[in-house]
Amino acid sequence: PRPPTLDLLKPVTDKFTESVYVLANEPSVALYRLQEHVRRSLPELAQHKADMQRWEEQSQGAIYTVEYACSAVKSLVDSSVYFRSVEGLLKQAISIRDHMNAAAQGH
């Protein structure tokens, strides 16, 4: 028969061996799970990045268009002096034409 101390040591050594095995493999399992997660989510993340870059380009184009439109409106506002000058000259030309027509009818 086996000594009773060996019967008592067997569960302890088995538990110790199992603990060492788990501790030795735990980092590998964690890294495997991490790699698995990255491999699964990387295509979706890459698609999101591409979408964001495309939206940024479209936004930049829209911002340029708005800035250009604002510049055009500001130029129109700044041109109001010239429009008033042209309006005054047109009124003068109409007045001269009316005088010339009246003078021509008087003859």
Q: What backbone phi and psi angles, to 5 degrees, belong to 3?
A: -65, 145
Residue 107, SS3 per DSSP: coil
Domain ranges of the chain: 4-79
State pTM to two decimals: 0.44
Residues of the chain with pLDDT > 70, as a percent, come to 93
Q: How far apart are CA 42 and CA 34, in angstroms?
A: 12
Over range 36-47, report the average pLDDT.
93
The 10s digit of each residue's pLDDT in 55-101 is 999 999 999 999 999 999 998 888 888 889 999 999 999 999 999 99
| Residue 89: C-alpha distances to residues 20, 46, 62, 85, 104 (Å) | 100, 64, 39, 6, 22
For 104, the enclosing helix (H) or strand (E) is helix 80-106
